[in-house]
Structure 1
Amino acid sequence: MVVAILMSTFNGEKYLNEQIESLVNQTYKHWNLFIRDDGSIDHTSQIITKWMRRDKRIHYIDDDSKNLKPANSFLKLLKEVEADYYFFCDQDDYWKSIKLETMLKNASNNQTIPNLVYCSLKCTDKNLVPEENDFENLMGKLSGKSRFIGNDMPGCVMMINKKLRDVAINSYTGNNIIMHDWWLALIAEVFGNIAFLDKKLIYYRQHGDNSIGAGHRGGIIRKAFHKDVFSKQEDLVRETYFQAKEFYSVFHNQLSDEWNDFLSMFIKCGSESYRYRLQFFNTYKLHESSKLRTLAYEYFFVFKLNNLLATKERD
């Protein structure tokens, strides 16, 4: 069994040593770490070189492309590396020593369909001290068609098989795709299988410089009144619509009748009345990872989608 850990770095000198150390300390030892740097100007490359000299399982994927951003950087790694199972690794988290072993024990032996397993996480401050953040309680709350309006799995909690990797690298256009992890989740939901492992196997470090993070500290109610929550919700509704449209464009010839009907109706929402969108939302019982998130998404989707799409077109 070939296990690959994929890490994309960018100016990660503050926490990179600790993250790689947590990988080296895994109870499951038969892995290889592949690192691609996205144009760091700090000491990230020196840290990578140091660890490569210490451990032959650590490899540097060198290419001339810089500033690809996380989604495209991880995609490049997926294309370069052949393995049976893949894990995505951020440069600033810290993995519990049993993460690989625990998740691999829950891997499916069926390599003929896209398979994905994901775990939970524990939010911490920059010093790995646990802190209150509702984000960690949102894992495992989505399934089925609701995955098209929300994503409850950042890449760092995922394990995917080779079949899912192969479908992803042959379908990922980069156009209107929110993040690589969300795209992978959609493929696995529609064409394969997703399993949630309710164990917090990662310390998810929040330090203010995260490329993608858990957002503001505290509970959902506190976050709901943050000044930028409405603009973010508008962005989410707009982006999920275009991502669904992209998914349909790429896979429409491979979809079952059920998924074809759902995505066709989703796309039609962009030109129909609010009554149509409300009926669509209720027919499929769409929901986000919490009741408040669901209410917010539903409001902007039902009553504002036409305007949000028009704004996108003007941009």
Structure 2
Amino acid sequence: MKVAILMSTYNGEKYLKEQIESLQKQTFKNWELFIRDDGSTDNTVPIINRLQRQDSRIHFMHDEKVQLRPMKSFLYLLSKVSADYYFFCDQDDYWLSEKLDSMLKRGKLDKPQLVYCGLKCVDQNLKPLKNDFENMMGTIWDYSRFIGNDMPGCVMMFNSKLRDIVISSTKNYEGIVMHDWWIALIAQTFGTIEFLNKKLILYRQHGNNSIGAGKNGSLIEKILQRGVIKKQKNLVYQTYNQSLVFYNTFKDQLTENDKVFLKDYINSPNKGLIYRNSLFKKYNLRGTSTIRLLAYKTLFVFNLNNILKDSK
């Protein structure tokens, strides 16, 4: 069984060594780490080179492209590495020692499969933070994944069959929000998804996060922060656009039920308020929380056309 851990780095010198040490402390030892750097200007590359010399399981994937950003960088790695199971790894988190072993025990190779675990939000010193983000894992399923995502890439494990669909179908990155969300949609549609309700990652929050759990505090406090409405409008635009790209990519492979849902969703701008509102009940669309769903639904029902027009 070949297990590949994929890591994309960028100016990660501060926490990189500690993260890789957490991989080396895993109870499951038969893994390989493949690292691609996205043009770091700090000591990230020398750290990788040193660790690679010390541990034969670590591989530095050299290429001339820089500034691909996380989505393209992780998908590039995925296209270059063959394995039975894949894990995405951020440069600044910390994996608990049983993460690989616990997740691999749920693995199957007979059909496309994705397993994801929980996480614990921590500060830069790995001390626990109060952040509602960690409680959003495992809260979305079925068609609700088209309007929200409850799994960052670092909590994922997926098999070779799912990887092959992702690589063979993802030719154009336009419209894809993030690699993890795109893979979750493919797994939901063509395979299986299982949530392992264990917090197996310390998800470090600090000023240099590329993507993180957002501001600390309650959902009410977050809603009252400046710029939240703009972010929610952007989410409505992104999810609509990503669903359109997904339909156009896979329309010849979709089941009839999936086609009907996506057509109903994609045709929403041409319909009225009652139609858009009814979609949420018809397909049991849920969010990671009641408040988040309410914000999304309100904007989608009453302001979808303006959001799509303004975002062009």
TM-score w.r.t. length of structure 2: 0.99
CA positional deviation for 1:285: 1.6
- List per-residue Cα deviations over 1:121-145 (Å, max 9, x = no partner): 0000111000100000000000000
8 Å CA contact 2:84–2:109 kept in 1: the answer is no
For residues 118 and 286 of structure 2, the distance between their equivalents in structure 1, rounded to whole angstroms, comes to: 19
Map 1:1-315 onto structure 2 (within 5 A). 1-110=1-110, 113-172=111-170, 173-313=172-312
For residues 88 and 149 of structure 1, the distance between their equivalents in structure 2, rounded to whole angstroms, comes to: 22
Greater mean alpha carbon deviation, residues 91-100 or residues 165-174: 165-174
8 Å CA contact 1:79–1:169 kept in 2: the answer is yes
Partner SS state of residue 226, structure 2? coil
Partner SS state of residue 34, structure 2? strand
Partner SS state of residue 47, structure 2? helix
Structure 1 stretches of 4+ with a deviation exceeding 6 A read: none
User: Which residue identity lines up with residue 161 of structure 1 in the other structure?
Assistant: N
User: Which residue identity lines up with residue 34 of structure 2 in the other structure?
Assistant: F
User: Which residue identity lines up with residue 136 of structure 1 in the other structure?
Assistant: E
For residues 226 and 108 of structure 1, the distance between their equivalents in structure 2, rounded to whole angstroms, comes to: 43
Aligned length: 311
For residues 49 and 270 of structure 1, the distance between their equivalents in structure 2, rounded to whole angstroms, comes to: 51
CA positional deviation for 1:74: 0.2
Partner SS state of residue 42, structure 1? coil
8 Å CA contact 1:114–1:187 kept in 2: the answer is no
CA positional deviation for 1:270: 2.1
8 Å CA contact 2:112–2:159 kept in 1: the answer is yes
Give unpaired runs (5+ residues) of structure 2.
none
CA positional deviation for 1:187: 0.4
8 Å CA contact 2:136–2:289 kept in 1: the answer is yes
Identity %: 56
- List per-residue Cα deviations over 1:25-73 (Å, max 9, x = no partner): 1110000000000000000000001100110000000001100000000
CA positional deviation for 1:189: 0.4
Partner SS state of residue 270, structure 1? helix
Partner SS state of residue 297, structure 1? helix
8 Å CA contact 2:109–2:161 kept in 1: the answer is no
User: Which residue identity lines up with residue 107 of structure 1 in the other structure?
Assistant: G
Give unpaired runs (5+ residues) of structure 1.
none
